[in-house]
Structure 1
């Protein structure tokens, strides 16, 4: 199985690398998106919500830092449409000078704490 994640190239103040949803949401909350970018965010977030399960709705503790420290979501490569739609988000991040990189793992990059047909959430292996 191959897993894909899009995350910031630079860590945030907590030392974490947010994924593209978090990065776009931060730009939106700070009012930095153009009207067209905000419309893209709203429309595409709605599409994702309609087409895949939000892990935190399926398991409210999945991202709880005390329960699953450092938990991150990865798309399964087989979720092609979900992965393909990330491109528009990456264009917006690039326009704002926010580096985002695509990671590919050929095995689960940590302990799987959630899984569905499209994605996994893992707690990374300790280095």
Structure 2
């Protein structure tokens, strides 16, 4: 949590731009940050993973309207696009890369959003052979 706050402050400082013009004051820099808070990196999950994402950054601090949804990717394949920060995802057997990105309505990643990624493993409780 402390890391997320520190990164939010760093993004806020980077996004200021130092000028009073609204035309170029950090519009090309990330305004939002998505952080996967559950499951933890390397977690073993069942057939469905309960995924929680925190949203931080200047966009949150300034109460800006969010013009993106969260893209949930498993192994670089978009499996869910949602406004929700808490979701349940079907996880196939094996190890996977879970990634969250801010995406527009077409599923294209937004440059205004810093995403996150973790490794997870589906484990159905059976002992390995």
Under a length normalisation based on structure 1, what TM-score does the superposition of the two structures give? Answer: 0.24
* Structure whose CA Rg is larger: 2
Q: Which has the higher helix share?
A: 1
Under a length normalisation based on structure 2, what TM-score does the superposition of the two structures give? Answer: 0.24
Q: Which has the higher strand share?
A: 2
